[in-house]
Amino acid sequence: MVAMVASPTKSTGGASERAMRDDLKAALRSLRSSRTFAAVALTVLALGIGASTAIFSVVDAVVLRGLPFDEHDRLVAVGERRPPGPLDTTIDPQAISSIAAPNYLDWTAQQQVFESMAAIVGPPFSSFTLREPGGEPEDLVGFRVTADFFKVLRIRPALGRAFTSENEVEGRHRVVVLSDAFWQRRFGGNHDIIGRTIALDDGASEVIGILPPDVTYPVGAIRSTDVFAPYVIPARERIRDPNGRVMIMRCIARLKPGVSIAQAQAQMDQIAAALEKANPAWNKDNTVGVRLLRDYLVGARTKSWLLMLLGTVAMVLLIACANVANLLLARASAREREVAVRAALGASRWRLVRQLMVESLVLSAAGTVIAMLLAWWAVGTLRNSMPEGVARVAAIAVNMRVFAAASGLAVVCALLFGVVPALQQSRPDLNTALKDTTRGTSAGRGRQQARGALVVVEVALAVVLLVGAALFIGSFLALMRIDPGFSIERVLVAQVFPRGDLGKRAPEIGTALAQIIERVSQIPGVVSASAIFGGLPLRTGTFITNISVPGKQLAGSDADISLRVVTTRYHETLRIPLERGRLFEATDQTGSASVAIMNESAARKYFPSEDPVGRTINISNEARTIVGVVGDIHQSSLETAPRAEAYIPMAQARAFGGDLVVRTSADPHDVLPAVRTAVAAVLPNVPLRNVMTMEELLARQVAQRRLNMLLLGLFGLLGLVISGVGIYGVVAYLVSQRTREIGVRMALGATGPNVVWMVLGNISGLIVAGLTVGSVGAWSLQATAQKFLFGLEATDLRAFAAALVLLASAALIAAAVPAKRAARVDPMVALRAE
């Protein structure tokens, strides 16, 4: 009895396997016999799936993937939310900022919703310099963290131990934990490093631990952290100083079991309200924000941007699927007799659908293989093109997650473009399909409607893509047309910042910078050299101080001004134009009259109806005479308007670091070795940091908008090409199906132009419908697009007009080629063939 039951099962299974093998062989034979169709379909699918896979790999690595820590969904970032100020340009309403030490200490003492909390101080406030004997100083990426940092993330060193709260005391803080990458690179993976000391900025520090190879923070940074050291909060920062606050700490925490983010937020709101009541001058209107650590590291703006790109490339994929579906529908008409013969011989509808779907799966799988090769190349390019500050860039790769997603995408695509043709083709009209006289007639109404709908979808999606491409290109061009206010060509910049001992201010190096500038100015190829303390143009970081004008009442933000401390020839080096008065001279030294220079924005703000040259102002409570007015420059970004700014001579102020600004007559990188030598001669223990040209700095500033322009332009081009191929295929098929009709018309006197207009008339309605639907769709997305544009409205009619004209022209050209071929049909040949 058992054998009788098992035998049919085995036979059924074997029959199914044979049937699937037969379907697979038939699919391969069918595709080999239609090589032109297969080549076009594979190309379209490879482009669509390849682009989607590449963008998905970026989104997955940056946005979707969880953090590589135990119970990562319990990790949060905690920070302050302050009222937006005049310099606040964030568009993220959930953004949380750095915190001051007194608030952090109160939070940790009063909170009851976190297992543990940790403070983090990262670059540029905690960078380290390795000073090995006999070697050049090496700039390291370092973080100072409280001991609970390892507890929050549940990190245990692979070798040695982590530091504890006992190391958060002055004198016991000289211990470090090294990353595995730095340990391997600098010390060859030698286990004897544990217990040894290494020379860092603030003295010899004992190496007590090595992190596991797969552990790093921040996660997926392009350059991983080298050193973790204890953070000892300086005594002066533990009190609430009414004259200012130091806000350089970031805070992470782990939620207690059963505590939600909403509950944690509610308690932190209560603590913030109590702190504001107890310290109104310090905490007025300040609130506390609690966010998932993953979302905090990525940022809402980056997340929205990447999801926008993913949605855009999904449109490209839909166009590709619609295109292949249209090609399959056209091919189905040519195979009606073949399918009818199979049905007449007893093939069930399910068997016909299965065979046709196997063809679609084979086609999609082959396209995915090619797409993965394209994605592998594209991902490397995208990773290198990511804007500065995007989290987890190093994790962007074509890995098993991306491969699984691509495989799933292949199945989805096969269903999208294969189901409708398979269902329509699996119900042939045997009486009609098996007649010889049916060759050359038109397809059924249902199939014609399906092809028309697919053309409309292709054109509509292509319109949305092209409008988006036009908007992003226009936005980038609007940004690049902005004059930064100075000349960026052939300018080398580099930071010279000595690191002071923990809790102490860095040493004043104004005199050393003057000596460095003198040496650099004598280097062959250097046109001029200078230094600035307070932040380079086009780089975030601005020093704001108080200003007062005798005889005028200033309050609020009007009493604040951006201050830059510069050496002589700074304005000449950057070629910032002098509007009135004079620039700084060598005689502007300590002991001489205190002077300052204003920019145009400051002159208009504080002296709207008079010449400020010769007037006196008080900057940082020191009286200074304005000796000149210079043009406005864009301080932090091209996208933010110039603000009121003042310059004072470095010889009359204190500088605790600075940025070298060197203009050259040729490639700035050619003088870099000599500049390093000049710096080392004056400050032998201070390495140059963040060395780049002004052009490279500007490129970093606009990297995201440039990438948006290139990707949206590429997607728009793909949509245009794929939809054009689809229109060409549909018209070519219509011409082939109506060869007999066209022959009859021409035999009865129709001319070539008549035939062309007849063919174009059949497709023009679909094109117009697609353009209309696409325009409505693009207009409805204006609110989403506006968040990513600069200097351009999402409803700019020029973008819509350019997209419509370009797509309509391409569609008409794609349709005109087979239409002209139809006009050359020989009536006698066409009728004889029938």
pLDDT per residue as tens digits for the range 480-502:
999 999 999 999 999 888 765 44
Q: Determine the average pLDDT of the residues in 27-32.
A: 79
**Hey, what's the torsion of the CAs at 781, 726, 758, 438, to 10 degrees?**
-130
What confidence category does residue 1 fall into, taking pLDDT thresholds of 50, 70 and 90?
Answer: very low
Backbone angles phi, psi at 476, to 5 degrees: -65, -40
Q: How far apart are CA 497 and CA 746, in angstroms?
A: 84
- How many percent of the chain have pLDDT more than 70? 85
SS3 205: strand
- Report whether 618 contacts 624 (CB < 8 A): yes
88: confidence class by pLDDT, cuts 50, 70, 90: very low
Apex 464 CA angle, 458 and 466, nearest 5: 95
Query: Which secondary-structure segment (H or E) carries 107?
Result: helix 101-110
Q: What is the reported pLDDT for 633?
A: 93
- CA atoms of 599 and 347, how far apart (whole Å): 84
Check residue 258 and give left, alpha or beta (phi > 0: left; psi -120 to 50: alpha): left
Average pLDDT value for residue range 729-748: 70
Q: What is the mean pLDDT of residues 445-469?
A: 84
Q: What is the mean pLDDT of the chain?
A: 83
**Mean per-residue pLDDT, 767-793:** 90
* Domain positions in the chain: 23-60+301-479+704-833, 96-298, 510-682
- Cα separation, 804 vs 462, whole angstroms: 10
- What's residue 10's pLDDT? 47
pLDDT > 90: what percent of the chain?
38
Residue 269 host element (H or E): helix 261-278
DSSP string, 710-744: HHHHHHHHHHHHHHHHHHHHHHHHHHHHTHHHHHH
Selected residue with higher pLDDT from 302 and 209: 209
Q: Which is higher by pLDDT, 581 or 832?
A: 581
Name, of 296-305, 549-558, 626-635, the range with top average pLDDT: 626-635
Phi, psi of 201 (to 5 degrees): -55, -50
State the first-to-last Cα distance of the chain, in angstroms, to the nearest integer.
62
267-323 per-position pLDDT tens digit: 999 999 998 888 887 777 778 999 999 988 888 888 888 899 999 999 998 898 888
Characterize 365-375 residue by residue with b for buried, 16 or more Cβ atoms within 10 angstroms of its Cβ, and e for exposed.
Answer: ebbbebbbebb
pTM for the whole structure:
0.81
pLDDT score for 278: 87
When pLDDT is averaged across residues 322-351 and rounded to a whole number, the result is: 67
Q: Looking up tokens 């990458």, which residue turns up?
A: 181
Q: Is residue 328 within 8 Å of residue 360, measured between CB atoms?
A: yes
| Position 150 pLDDT exceeds 90 | yes
Contact (CB, 8 A) for 682 and 516: yes
pLDDT at 812 over 80: yes
Tell me which residue of 660, 642, 144, 700 sits closest to 386, measured CA to CA: 700
C-alpha–C-alpha distance, residues 271 and 111, integer Å = 8
Instruction: Give the tens place of pLDDT for each residue, 815-828.
Output: 888 777 777 666 66
Mean pLDDT of 205-231: 88
User: What are 99-111's pLDDT values in tens digits?
Assistant: 888 999 999 999 9
d(CA 559, CA 646): 13
